[in-house]
């Protein structure tokens, strides 16, 4: 026993290193499960308030651009109000309220931290559970997709951007509804990969890829990007393509969180099937 | 270690953490280059520091960065590996303990050749650990390798610039 202690004392440096190193590695590989847990929420609110403070300063530098975007958005909305339409037809058809039900609601939020240079990129926004945000909600900007919520604290949400190794978006070709998967393999933040394109689908440069609506995160028809390059693989069952993202991830100011009002119903339906 | 050294190191710790999370993490050149200048703190710790303290400080430094980037454990693991190799690197590149001048590893004290070896090896160790732990797959080996080399060069440049600015020759 005494020898053991002597041994430990002599080589304490190596043991301390192994102890601390394994502790950090355990944290590293488990932290995906930590999301939403108390530890994560604490670190979220600490870094959130510091980032928010810094962002409050840096916001001033982009006021001109923000203004321009807001004006554009306003013009777009103005063109949609009923007064903007010329009544060319005297027969007006009313839709019954019970037929049309609100399915998606949007919460606008400000991006307070963002990155595009890591292999796994995340964003933080200044809205959280208090504003009705929950895990696995989609995040969009205009009609383009950004990512999905992976962790929420009362005032902030942590969003996995599409520029992430764990992000896989279900998309489809606008021209023929063929389903594909969109991923990002690092490097250039404007370009991603389209995986699992069936052999019989003829890709053309400039083909538009939109969300499929299959994933319950994004509504159908949001822009993901356009095909910029493709390869025909001989030995595989699928082809791959390169996609140019419509979203400029480096200039996100305000984003919108998509709330699917019928999500619970969809989940319940699936759960009830699994229960049988 | 005098209390002056302790004081300077505490200030340096906080300064580098905030510099890293508020400014350097937002730097992104060509989608590849991303400096991790905060490890300058580990490089500049005095020679005579107890080795357990070296590891504990490296862990604290890494975990502080991790809290701000929400990568709990990633920077801590990389910093620990770097701190673990620091005593080995120092003894490998110096001819003996008596050849080390002064009590901190600075460019002015040790000369350009020694300091270059010292930083290149340790920065590469740290960046290799950090980038490969972040990816954790070998399918993107070459792209990551490229990122490691470019980012290391950038970090190295920052370290050398601050060495020349903070410790000028004729002081």
pLDDT band of B17, cuts 50, 70, 90: very high
Asked if the model's pLDDT at residue B171 lies above 50, the reply is no
| Residue A13 near chain B (CB below 8 Å) | yes
Q: With both helix axes pointing from N to C terminus, report the angle between B74-93 and B51-69 in degrees, rounded to the nearest 10.
A: 150
| Predicted pLDDT at A215 | 78
Where are any strands of DSSP class E within chain A?
104-114, 122-125, 138-141, 144-152, 157-161, 169-173, 179-183, 191-198, 208-211, 223-231, 238-245, 254-260
For residues B121 and A110, what is the distance between their CA atoms, to the nearest angstrom?
Answer: 41
* Domain shared by A19 and A116, yes or no: no
Residue B38's domain comprises: 3-166
In a domain, A276, yes or no: no
* Domain shared by A117 and A209, yes or no: no
In a domain, B171, yes or no: no
Residue A17's domain comprises: 2-34
Residue B135 and residue A186: Cβ atoms within 8 Å? yes
- The number of domains in chain A is 3
pLDDT band of B159, cuts 50, 70, 90: very high
Sign of the alpha-carbon dihedral angle for A263, A264, A267, A268: negative
**Phi, psi for A120 (deg, rounded to 5):** -115, 110
For residues A178 and A187, what is the distance between their CA atoms, to the nearest angstrom?
Answer: 27
Residue A13 and residue B55: Cβ atoms within 8 Å? yes
In a domain, A272, yes or no: no
* Domain shared by A51 and A82, yes or no: yes
In a domain, B133, yes or no: yes
Residue A275 forms beta bridges with which residues?
none
- Picking from A31, A40, A185, the nearest residue to B73 by CB comes out as A31
In terms of C-beta density within 10 A (0-12 exposed, 13-18 middle, 19 or more buried), how is residue A17 classed?
Answer: buried
- Residues B25-42 have a mean pLDDT of 82
For residues A20 and B52, what is the distance between their CA atoms, to the nearest angstrom?
Answer: 11
- The number of domains in chain B is 1
In a domain, A73, yes or no: yes
- Residues B10-21 have a mean pLDDT of 92
| Residue B161 near chain A (CB below 8 Å) | no
Residue B72 and residue A50: Cβ atoms within 8 Å? no
* Domain shared by A242 and A151, yes or no: no
Please identify which residue in the block is written with the tokens 């020349």.
B164
pLDDT band of B168, cuts 50, 70, 90: low
Q: With a CB-CB cutoff of 8 Å, which residues 80-119 of chain B face chain A?
A: 80-81, 83-84, 87
Nearest chain B Cα distance for residue A88, angstroms:
52
Residue B80 and residue A20: Cβ atoms within 8 Å? yes
* Domain shared by A111 and A151, yes or no: yes
Upper half-sphere CA count for residue B73 (Cβ side, 13 Å): 18
Cα A210 versus chain centre, distance? 14
CATH code: domain of residue A97: 2.40.10.340
* Domain shared by A173 and A64, yes or no: no
* Domain shared by A70 and A152, yes or no: yes
In a domain, B61, yes or no: yes
In a domain, B158, yes or no: yes
CB neighbours of residue B119 within 10 Å: 22
Nearest chain B Cα distance for residue A57, angstroms:
11
* Domain shared by A58 and A100, yes or no: yes
Residues of A in contact with B63 (CB under 8 A): 24
Stretches where chain A sits below pLDDT 50 are 34-36, 87-96
* Domain shared by A181 and A56, yes or no: no
Each residue of A1-22: pLDDT tens digit? Answer: 778 788 877 788 888 899 998 8
Contact B118, B43 (CB under 8 A): yes
Q: 3-class DSSP state for residue B75?
A: helix
In a domain, A273, yes or no: no
Residues of B in contact with A29 (CB under 8 A): 73
Which residue stretches of B33-111 are H helix? Answer: 40-44, 51-69, 74-93, 107-110
CATH code: domain of residue B147: 1.10.1760
| Predicted pLDDT at A96 | 46
| Predicted pLDDT at A91 | 44
- Residues B23-42 have a mean pLDDT of 82
In a domain, A24, yes or no: yes
Each residue of B58-116: pLDDT tens digit? Answer: 999 999 998 888 778 889 999 999 999 999 999 888 877 667 777 788 888 888 888 99
């Amino acid at each position: 026993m005494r020898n053991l202690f002597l041994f430990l004392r002599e080589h304490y440096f190596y043991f301390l290193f192994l102890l601390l190193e394994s502790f950090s590695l355990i944290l590293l590989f488990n932290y995906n499960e930590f999301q939403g847990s108390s530890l994560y929420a604490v670190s979220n609110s600490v870094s959130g308030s510091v980032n928010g403070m810094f962002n409050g300063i840096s916001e001033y530098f982009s006021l001109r651009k923000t203004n321009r975007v807001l004006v554009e958005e306003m013009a777009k909305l103005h063109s949609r109000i009923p007064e903007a339409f010329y009544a060319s037809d005297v027969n007006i058809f009313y839709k019954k309220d019970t037929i049309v039900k609100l399915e998606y609601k949007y919460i606008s939020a400000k991006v307070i931290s963002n990155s595009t240079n890591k292999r796994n990129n995340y964003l933080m926004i200044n809205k959280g559970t208090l504003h009705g945000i929950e895990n696995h909600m989609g995040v969009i900007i205009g009609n383009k997709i950004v990512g999905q919520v992976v962790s929420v604290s009362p005032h902030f949400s942590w969003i996995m951007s599409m520029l992430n190794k764990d992000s896989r978006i279900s998309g489809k070709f606008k021209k023929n509804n063929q389903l594909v998967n969109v991923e990002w393999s690092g490097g250039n933040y404007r370009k991603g990969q389209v995986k699992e394109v069936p052999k019989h689908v003829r890709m053309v440069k400039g083909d538009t890829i939109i969300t499929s609506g299959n994933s319950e995160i994004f509504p159908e028809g949001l822009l993901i990007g356009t095909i910029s390059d493709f390869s025909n693989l001989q030995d595989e069952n699928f082809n791959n393509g390169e996609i140019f993202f419509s979203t400029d991830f480096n200039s996100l100011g305000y984003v919108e969180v998509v709330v699917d009002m019928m999500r619970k119903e969809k989940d319940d339906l699936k759960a009830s099937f699994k229960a049988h | 270690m005098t209390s002056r050294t302790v004081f300077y190191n505490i200030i340096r710790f906080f300064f580098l953490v905030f510099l890293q999370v508020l400014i350097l993490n937002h730097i992104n050149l060509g989608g590849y280059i991303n400096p991790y200048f905060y490890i300058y703190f580990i490089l500049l710790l005095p020679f005579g520091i107890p080795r357990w303290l070296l590891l504990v400080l490296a862990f604290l430094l890494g975990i502080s960065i991790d809290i701000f980037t929400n990568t709990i454990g990633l920077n801590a693991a990389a910093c620990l590996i770097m701190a673990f190799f620091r005593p080995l690197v120092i003894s490998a590149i110096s001819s003996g303990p008596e050849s080390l001048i002064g009590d901190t590893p600075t460019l002015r004290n040790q000369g350009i050749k020694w300091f270059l070896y010292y930083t290149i090896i340790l920065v590469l160790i740290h960046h290799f650990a950090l980038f490969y732990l972040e990816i954790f797959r070998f399918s993107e080996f070459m792209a990551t390798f490229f990122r490691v080399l470019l980012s290391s060069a950038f970090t190295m440049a920052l370290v050398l610039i601050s060495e020349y600015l903070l410790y000028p020759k004729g002081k």
